């Protein structure tokens, strides 16, 4: 039976699960949740995910939310395709650490920029706050030039760390379209640029780009 994947376009947390489903070669059906219509707050959705967020998967009646938990579930339940978490205990620990770093540090460092630039109308932009938020993000993305340990973030192989970090950074770069002088692209160092290119070269990548980004 196919997994049902509940997805919100542009959510970095949902994007990583979509990439995982493709890389694992798992059969799934996708249901796009409309945030504007508040479908994520409907009684039917809350019955499956009381947090009212995306992503969510339902696998043969088993509902699971929280993207990091979903990645581990998919990797343990479906042996085929890319191994998202290595078998070696130390390498697996590094991947888990980087998954946490991507959410707790990289994702969090973007919150000020998202709040100021993406979620506010232009007439409400605060230049001082935007500049401060950019500085915070610049410090974090610079740290990843050292955190990345190989062609992929956790070394020689693609892993859950890459699937977690890439959507965060792609969303940050998206802010340049809304405010070109922000120049988020100019903050990304050579190692991270090369890594992003590797992710974007994955055969499944184009399929998983958020639909509204293609418009």
**Model pLDDT, residue 36:** 83
Residue 1, pLDDT > 80, answer: no
Do residues 164 and 103 touch, judged by C-beta distance below 8 A?
A: yes
Question: Do 107 and 199 belong to one domain?
Answer: yes
The per-residue pLDDT for range 21-73, each reduced to its tens digit, is 999 999 999 999 988 889 999 999 999 999 999 999 999 999 999 999 999 99
Mean pLDDT, residues 78-105 taken together:
96
CA distance 101 to 148: 11
Question: Do 57 and 131 belong to one domain?
Answer: no
Instruction: Show the domain range for 149.
Output: 89-207
Which has the closest alpha carbon to 28: 66, 56, 68? 56
Q: Six-digit token pair at 207?
A: 């399929």
Confidence of residue 212 (pLDDT cuts 50, 70, 90): confident
**Model pLDDT, residue 166:** 98
Q: Domain containing 70 — which CATH number?
A: 3.40.30.10
Question: Do 191 and 110 belong to one domain?
Answer: yes
Q: Last residue of some domain: 55, 77, 99?
A: 77
Sequence-distant (6+) residues with CB within 8 A of 210 are 9, 10, 15
**Model pLDDT, residue 45:** 93
The per-residue pLDDT for range 151-193, each reduced to its tens digit, is 999 999 999 999 999 999 999 999 999 999 999 999 999 999 9
Q: Six-digit token pair at 132?
A: 């401060």
Looking up tokens 């958020």 gives 210
**Number of domains composing the chain:** 2
The per-residue pLDDT for range 95-146, each reduced to its tens digit, is 999 999 999 999 999 999 999 999 999 999 999 999 999 999 999 999 999 9
Question: Do 56 and 104 belong to one domain?
Answer: no
């Amino acid at each position: 039976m196919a997994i049902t994947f509940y997805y919100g376009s542009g959510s970095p947390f949902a994007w990583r699960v979509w990439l995982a489903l493709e890389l694992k070669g798992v059969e799934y059906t996708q249901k796009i949740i409309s945030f504007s219509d508040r479908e994520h707050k409907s009684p039917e959705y809350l019955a499956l995910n009381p947090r009212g967020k995306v992503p969510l998967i339902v696998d043969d009646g088993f509902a699971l939310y929280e993207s990091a938990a979903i990645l581990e579930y998919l990797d343990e339940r479906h042996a085929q395709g890319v191994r998202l978490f290595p078998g070696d205990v130390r390498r697996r620990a590094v991947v888990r650490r980087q998954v946490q770093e991507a959410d707790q540090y990289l994702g969090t460092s973007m919150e000020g920029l998202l709040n100021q630039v993406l979620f506010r109308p232009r007439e409400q932009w605060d230049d001082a706050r935007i500049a401060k938020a950019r500085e915070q993000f610049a410090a974090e993305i610079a740290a990843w030039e050292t955190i990345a340990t190989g062609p992929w973030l956790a070394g020689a192989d693609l892993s859950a760390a890459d699937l977690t970090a890439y959507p965060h950074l792609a969303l940050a770069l998206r802010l340049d379209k809304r405010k070109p002088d922000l120049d988020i692209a100019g903050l990304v160092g050579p190692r991270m640029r090369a890594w992003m290119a590797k992710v974007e070269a994955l055969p499944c990548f184009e399929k998983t780009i958020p639909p509204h980004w293609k418009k």
